[in-house]
Amino acid sequence: MRAFPKGFLWGGATAANQCEGGYQEGGRGLANVDFIPSGEQRFAVASGQLDVKQLSNQEHFPGRYAIDMYHHYKEDIALFAEMGFQVYRFSISWSRIYPQGDEDKPNEAGLRFYEEVIDTCLSYGIEPLVTINHFDVPLHLIEAYGAWRNRKMVTFYLRLCETLFTRFKGKVHYWLTFNEINMILHLPYMAAGLTFKADENKTQVCYQAAHHELLASAKAVSLAHHIDPNNQIGCMLAAGNIYPYSCRPEDVMEGLQKDRENYYFTDVQARGYYPSYAKKFFEREHIQLQMEEDDEAILKAGCIDFVSFSYYNSGVASADPKLKAAAKGNVFPSIENPYLPSSEWGWQIDPLGLRITLNTLYDRYQKPLFIVENGLGAKDNFVNGYVEDDARIAYLREHIKAMKDAILLDGVDLLGYTTWGCIDLISASTGEMRKRYGFIYVDADEDGKGTLNRYKKKSFYWYQKVIKSNGEDLD
């Protein structure tokens, strides 16, 4: 087996709201993610269907404590270094830097915390890849301004960006503006802090809020380059190619429309303007974006340097109303693909789909790509301090092979690969701890019980070998 190109970055990824904990420590303010419960109500809250004020005091909010990386980051980063990580993707908790979100001055304790995380990474030669906003909106900005439906959010977000770019200049070179920006259409409260009135056109609200995020992203790119020309700033998409259910032309057209729904965001961020199909979609759906005179110039001036994305599975689309109604999945409804196996949580496993997605994105944008999330959520059998996670190894092996084919056979420019949940953390989709992704087992359950001790799984040693061989040894 051939190795990956020299300079390819291997590592892992986490998010503050799923691993950090310490939700009321160090001056941190409350955020939307502190009010998304585990259990049956999770999807209703995350999607904006249920107001958090209607939740009972009996609900459990797993993100508040998670795996307590706030107090374990040195131990965890040391384990990442032992695996050989060259890059570590993590996110900033906005309310740890600006507790209310609209203050003039940042919280120094929050900045010091992330400075220590970054310095610890650098001490091991690990490149920090920082997600500025990963499903994280200060609660005050939701209650006082309506979150991203309000254009003032652009100013508050840019203040956060300027603080980060200035404080960490020369230490952080890779930045992502918004995690899975397209999730605003599917989980609007989780992704952007959006709640809705009974008579509102939710689609209008989501696309207007998305316009504000796209403006903020473009301005952040320009600001990052101004503060440090060495900064590389990317977008981040929840990706996964859509297959037509059949070769029936109507199914193929339906698949095209589903792809456009996702690529709409990266089309703007990578090209700097709204695509023609979006304008026609807005006309059909009676959506009127409120734009100011300079908005088009701002988008044009703030094109991203690279396209990053998450990939877990592909999807299937059909124009048949009966098949549409039977589509499974809370977040991305999809028809089941009979040619693919599924995980314990019903996510279909499609390594070749990753190669197809890589080629689709590279053909579309001709910009470097970065896979910043990919992994298998599964139950782990923890016995005598060890986990034999062969299914996870098999999943990752096949996806790494697909990446290698995309690079060596297809000519895709891929910067690196950070597996999702390199250490066990709270699942964003379910709020569960038992849905584990990591190379490192954390003794914690959904209710926050456990020692929080860390243990190396079998996959820890496998990934260590993969990195050491630069992807040549996948056995």
pLDDT score, position 333: 76
pLDDT of residue 96: 99
Q: Residue 40: its pLDDT value, please?
A: 86
pLDDT of the residue at 325: 79
pLDDT digits (tens, 9 = 90+) for 399-420: 999 999 999 999 999 999 999 9
Instruction: Determine how many CB atoms are found less than 10 A away from the CB of residue 328.
Output: 12
* Average per-residue pLDDT for the chain: 96
326 pLDDT band, cuts 50/70/90, is confident
Alpha-carbon distance of 149 to 205, in angstroms, equals: 6
Half-sphere exposure of 356 (CA within 13 A, CB side): 14
C-alpha span between 470 and 258 (Å, rounded):
35
State mean pLDDT over 205-224.
99
| % pLDDT > 90, the chain | 90
Average pLDDT over residues 248-255: 98
Q: What are phi and psi of 344, to 5 degrees?
A: -60, -25
User: How high is the pLDDT of residue 332?
Assistant: 73
Domain ranges for the chain, please list them.
9-468
How much is the pLDDT for 329? Answer: 58
pLDDT of residue 293: 97
Q: How far apart are the first and last CA of the chain?
A: 10
pLDDT value at position 56? 80
Given the residues 20, 127, 254, 373, select the one marked as catalytic. 373
Strands 232-239 and 127-133: unpaired
Point out the least confidently predicted range of 112-121, 316-325, 369-378, 380-389. Answer: 316-325
Which has more pLDDT, 272 or 197? 272
474 near 4, Cβ under 8 Å? no
Superfamily of domain 9-468: Glycosidases (3.20.20.80)
The SS3 of residue 441 is: strand
Is 432 catalytic? The answer is: no
Confidence check: pLDDT of 330 > 60: no
Question: Region 317-334: what's the mean pLDDT?
Answer: 79
Q: Three-state SS across 212-253? A: HHHHHHHHHHHHHHHHCCCCEEEEEEEECCEEECCCCHHHHH
Quote the pLDDT of residue 328.
66
| Mean pLDDT along residues 49-64 | 86
Tell me what the mean pLDDT of segment 160-177 comes to: 99
* Confidence (pLDDT) at 272: 99
In the prediction, which pLDDT does 71 show?
Answer: 98
- Per-residue confidence band for 315, with pLDDT thresholds at 50, 70 and 90: very high
